[in-house]
Amino acid sequence: MRASRILATLATAVALAGSLAACTSTVSMDAAADANDPLCADVIVHLPGTVDGQDRRWTDAQATGAWGDPASILLTCGVTPPGPTEARCITIGGVDWVVDESAAPKYRITTYGRTPAIEVYLDNEVVSSNNVLDRLGPIVNAAIPAESACVDSESVLPDEG
């Protein structure tokens, strides 16, 4: 009798653990090529629990972060740094960011002038890009030194006057 009670208790515990595991909402992401860079680890350990009202979620890839349910902010460290570009470049949170607006209102925003680079995907219908970058920028700035900065085309083109 005692053995059957123990087995029943174990079976219940296993079933409960399985149902709890099914309730976890891990965000599936891909690690970037340079995700193992120690500077990425420094960024990831300092990521906040909340960004623009969105709670942080677990991810299944190295050097990544996600916030919101469904995820409205995705961060990946270790992406290839962008080269010179004519894409819009903004400075928020002490960091230069290159903005890809091709899928607006969802934006891909990548650090400029820092290696490794960090890429942030965000849904501007759910969160404010300015608030997100203002929150993440100081963390990036503290962990990954700037090697170069954005410049506008007027400062690099010859004056034709």
Question: Whole-angstrom Cα distance, residue 76 to residue 3?
Answer: 50
Contacts of 103 (CB under 8 A, 6+ apart): none
Compute the average pLDDT of residues 119-144: 98
Contacts of 102 (CB under 8 A, 6+ apart): none
Computed over every residue of the chain, the mean pLDDT equals: 86
Say if residue 22's pLDDT is above 70. Answer: no
Domain spans, the chain: 38-151
For 81, the 3-state DSSP assignment is coil
For 50, the 3-state DSSP assignment is strand
What is the structure's pLDDT at 60? Answer: 97
For 7, the 3-state DSSP assignment is helix
